[in-house]
Chains A and B, each alone.
Chain A
């Protein structure tokens, strides 16, 4: 095997390897100034219609308000178990999922409320699941970490770090086997990159040319352990090269940057049936979960990143480019708050699962002999 990078592959190989040629060696997104980011986002806005832009803002806002309300409900004891919030990372799920079709697939980890909403699940069904109600998307059996909706191609909600990566690879395998042009987006945190499941999956995906887009949401912490303390090769996008995948670093605080990068990866998957690894650099403003004391990072660090708030950035871009007025966006916020409040009312008023549900959905094919023991 040649030690050439895909970029410098010989011309005879170039065609087959073209997909692996997108490796941008940009500095970490966190280093760019707020002004520089604004300028970049404004440049990206060209060519996008107003409706699309407002929809993106609406979705990010929906996630932000939904998560704020989730935190509140959790503190009131209405939501149990673990609850991992997405505040700060909205641009990633919203930007990426905005470029795929309803019949494409999404799988993600336990930090999943945003992905579920972005894929088209209603706030009602997601909130009701958090409340453990029969009207929840998983009938109250999955909770915060295991949401599913077959109708919109949302395939979970998986709570063992990295566990969804082989699954998503299999979903993409099935699309290729069935001869459809569907693509699969697989989201995971940067800590999952240290799991064997990540490496095994990327190897198979490129070996068999599967239409899977691996989106690493690098929020810099695996629970309380920083990437610095957990990863030897810290440039995650480079790990794509180990398996000859296309790899790219993406600014995860810019919804339009995420959108553009995902569009390129989706085209590669849909047209050429090739996988991509996107390292999307982001930051979570809240703790790992609701029970996180947060003593592993400083207030100053969090505040530094909050200046790069993806919602603030996009708000400024929309207003400064006169795509929308402040008043319009404020009205939108009111609508979103009402939508979220409604989901809480819906969840509150919904019935708990019937006790008989304890013993349903264990097997698809129940037994012949009634005396047999499961």
Chain B
């Protein structure tokens, strides 16, 4: 097993899947000649040529829809958004075309494609370039939403997403591209969509965390261990389909839950997970499910304000102590 960054893991996944299937192509702003705005697509133009690694104009609605059309007749597009912020311009094609095509055509037209790119909070880029949009996309039946938190997950999940026959929203965390971890060398290393991962086993409280919140939850768990609280950290890895079974199993064991996320709380994924737990395991709860979410404000620029807007380890610790009545 090699130790590589999330950026490199994603690059490997793209390279291997482009090698494996000639119907796979990659398209987006600056993905080819520039080597990717975040260097995730580095070297791919050189290896696969301009037919399969394509620089687009800045025309998100257009190339997202072009990808959906190409998927209707047999190609497997990977459409990169330079950041998910720009996908907002393409939501008509993602939601009205990609998500609904199979259903409204009575099962005739599947859309095997991946929309991917960095999302969530970035470093001091203010409101329009720093936001978490997973709850938008997870809302729609027909879409799958994936958010990896480690290099191994990033590689295994992206390969599965590319081989999947449904449109997959693949949200990488902009702050986490440089994070390192072990990744299996196997070219067929796949992680199935819809399977959560227990990142740390524990007995006293469950922390459900995704994306940027996973390393923070693990740090919080370490600290809480010292305080005598054993935490189980669960990363759903895919938001839709959501592996609620693994979460419920943990809740039945620990009876206390904190759901951590960097996104806004209102109408968010943590609220949904909380509702699922209440419906399925209310009798097992010893305390109300507690959410830790990003501040309900547009992202500010100033460093101190930005720090206040994104949940940190301390907030997760405080929430766990709250549900444990400590």
Residues of A135-165 at the interface with B, using a CB-CB cut-off of 8 Å, are: 136-142, 146, 148-150, 155-160, 163, 165
Q: Are B66 and A173 in contact (CB under 8 A)?
A: yes
Cross-chain contact A368 with B192 (CB below 8 angstroms) = yes
- Chain B, 98-133, CB within 8 A of any chain A CB: 101-110, 112
Check B70 against A363 for contact (C-beta < 8 Å): no
B248 CB, min distance to chain A CBs, angstroms: 8
Please give, as numbers and ranges, the residues of chain B lying within 8 Å of A167 by CB-CB distance.
65-66, 68-69, 72, 93, 97
Complex contacts, B75 vs chain A, CB 8 Å = 174, 177-178
- Min CB distance B54 to A, Å, is 8
Of B55-63, B176-184, B214-222, which binds chain A? Answer: B55-63
* B115 to A: closest C-beta gap in Å: 14
B65 proximity list for chain A (CB < 8 A): 163, 165-167, 169-170, 197, 201
Decide if A361 is an interface residue (CB 8 Å cutoff): yes
Nearest-CB residue, chain A, relative to B98: A167
Question: Chain A contacts of B77 at CB under 8 A?
Answer: 170
The answer to whether B109 and A150 have CB atoms under 8 Å apart is: yes
A sample of 29 inter-chain contacts (CB < 8 A) reads: A105-B73, A146-B105, A150-B109, A155-B73, A156-B101, A157-B104, A166-B64, A167-B69, A167-B93, A169-B62, A170-B67, A170-B69, A170-B71, A177-B25, A177-B51, A196-B61, A200-B57, A201-B62, A203-B57, A204-B56, A361-B105, A362-B102, A364-B110, A364-B166, A365-B166, A371-B248, A372-B242, A372-B243, A372-B245
- Which A residues have a C-beta under 8 Å from some C-beta of B? 105, 107, 136-142, 146, 148-150, 155-160, 163, 165-175, 177-178, 196-197, 200-201, 203-204, 207, 360-365, 367-369, 371-374
Known: A177-B75, A196-B61, A360-B107. 15 other contacts (CB 8 A): A138-B105, A139-B107, A150-B109, A155-B72, A163-B96, A166-B65, A166-B68, A167-B72, A169-B65, A178-B75, A200-B62, A362-B142, A364-B166, A365-B166, A371-B245
Residues of B within 8 A of A (CB): 25, 51, 56-57, 59, 61-75, 77, 92-93, 96-97, 101-110, 112, 141-142, 144, 164-166, 192-195, 240-245, 248, 276
- Shortest 7 CB-CB distances between A and B: which pairs? A170-B69, A166-B65, A200-B62, A371-B245, A139-B106, A364-B165, A170-B66
